[in-house]
Amino acid sequence: MCQCSDVLNSRQQLHQCNTPPKPQRSMYKDRKMRIFCLFLTAIISPVITEEWRANVVKELDALVTSCVVVPCSFTHPNEKLPTSRLRGIWHRSTDRNQRIYFEDSTQVLENFRGRTKLLGHLGQNNCSLEITNIKDHDNGPFCFRLELARTETDTSTVDKFSFVESCVTFTMLPDPPNPTLSQPKTAIQDRPYTITCSVRHTCPSHVPKLTWSRGTADEVIEVHKETGFGYWEAQSILTIIPEEKDDHSDVTCTAQFNGQKTSSATLKLYVKRTENYNHIIIPTVAVIGTAVIFAVFCIFMVKRYKKRIAELQSGDGSMWNRLSRLSRRIRSDGPGPSRSDQRRSMWSRFSRRPKGETVDWGHTPKNLNSKSCADQKASKARFPSPKSQPKSCNYQEDLADGDDYMNTADLNIYGNI
């Protein structure tokens, strides 16, 4: 290799110094070509891969003895073709000749014959696969392959593409998943109560059947929806009206999957009594009712007593009422006057008698039978009489009776004052 410092004044020598030898020039050209090819490949490759593409779920749960559906869709570079010109194949990822599905069942692996089929139409870019009667060795991975036929009658294919980068793998489930129950914490007596039973699955072509331990078909609503990524959810909504006897009772939801496997979930129902105050209202009403009845009875008795008092007061002028009040007053005031004073008549107090000739009839005993009627007349010769008639023999008794009456009237007069 030349030294640049030795040929500074010679242009030819300078050119020779900057130009690499022939072997180095060939390597430099190859390097440029490789860089260009890689750059061109990087630009064209996304366009090509975007034309041949399949959307397949990577992982799915598969219940043994049940079924599974693998969602799948694809695109290809040709124009939209009918299903009759498209061939769909599912095969093992390790060998595309080990087919688990093909329209010619003779080319399918023996342990998959009659258990696989396409659910969609290839003309609609749907390559979804259903596998029934899942075995514990059907774990995959499985890939989709698309072939384009020349014509509807010519089965020879022009374009073929295996989507080996979009394969599905199954997680084998020996036992079915348990349903999930969702409900309010407490049920209220005689009010609608809703319980939702839901279970997740991967076989929408055979939806699990949900049943309840109680309730009728009219009280149940069935819902089936896709949750995404190949999973589906079956729901059963039960609406009941619990009673007091349903407290602490069990409600069970049972899920029956394709292949006759079942699972269940149970909840305990707690029923709350209807919020009322009957235990307070009933005793209160009873007490109030008793008090009202007693008050009415008391009012009736008071009115009756007042009426009786009014009747008694209306007869105040009668002699017997006056005598009754007089006797009560005498008993309450003390011993009262002597019997001789009570018999003193009004006439004996206020009558005109001559001095020294006073006759005290009040002290004369009533049983004075030995005296004759003539003796009585002689002793009363000077007593002024309102009538100029002789007194009868019974005058003494009449006078005593009169004295009693007048004394009573006299006392009554003073009492009224």
What percentage of residues in the chain have a pLDDT greater than 70?
A: 61
- Tell how far CA 298 is from the center of its chain: 48
CATH of 180-272, one of 3.30.420.40, 3.60.150.10, 3.20.10.10, 2.60.40.10: 2.60.40.10
The mean pLDDT value of the chain amounts to 75
What is the phi/psi pair of residue 199, to 5°? Answer: -145, 140
Q: What is the distance between the alpha carbons of residues 62 and 325, in angstroms, rounded to a whole number?
A: 115
Tens of pLDDT, residue by residue over 350-379, are 454 444 444 444 444 444 444 444 444 444
> Is the fold of 53-173 the same as that of 180-272?
yes
Q: CA nearest 212: which of 200, 225, 201, 196?
A: 196
N residues, the chain: 417
pLDDT for 22-52, tens place per residue?
455 566 666 667 676 665 554 444 444 447 7
3-state helix, strand, coil split of the chain in percent (to 5) is 35, 30, 35
Question: By three-state DSSP, how is residue 383 classified?
Answer: coil
Residue 7 pLDDT greater than 80, yes or no: no
171-220 residue pLDDT tens: 999 999 999 999 988 888 889 999 999 999 999 999 999 999 987 877 89
Q: Give, in order, the Cα–Cα distances in Å from 199 to each of 9, 70, 180.
A: 92, 18, 6
Q: Is the pLDDT of residue 66 over 80?
A: yes
The band of 120, judged by pLDDT with boundaries at 50, 70 and 90, is confident
pLDDT in tens, 397-413: 444 444 444 444 444 43
Q: How confident is the model at residue 6 (pLDDT cuts 50, 70, 90)?
A: very low
Confidence of residue 72 (pLDDT cuts 50, 70, 90): very high
To the question of pTM greater than 0.85 for the whole model, the response is no
Q: pLDDT tens across 252-304, in order?
A: 999 999 999 999 999 999 988 876 667 778 888 889 999 999 999 999 888 88
The C-alpha angle with vertex 89 and arms to 87 and 92, in degrees rounded to 5, equals 165
- Is the pLDDT reported for residue 144 higher than 80? yes
159 vs 121, which has greater pLDDT? Answer: 121
* Residue reference for tokens 């949900």: 210
Q: For the chain, which residues make up each domain, given as ranges?
A: 53-173, 180-272
Which superfamily does 53-173 belong to?
Immunoglobulins (2.60.40.10)
Instruction: Write down the pLDDT at residue 323.
Output: 66
Residue 5 pLDDT > 80 = no
Asked if 242 and 213 touch (Cβ cutoff 8 Å), the reply is: no
Judged by average pLDDT, the poorest of 116-125, 138-147, 386-395 is 386-395
Can you spell out the DSSP letters for 100-155?
A: EE-SSGGGB-GGGTTTEEE-S-GGGTB--EEE-S--TT----EEEEEEEESSSS--
**pLDDT tier at 2, thresholds 50, 70, 90:** very low
Peptide bond into 174 cis (omega under 30): no
Distance between CA 147 and CA 163 in Å, rounded? Answer: 11
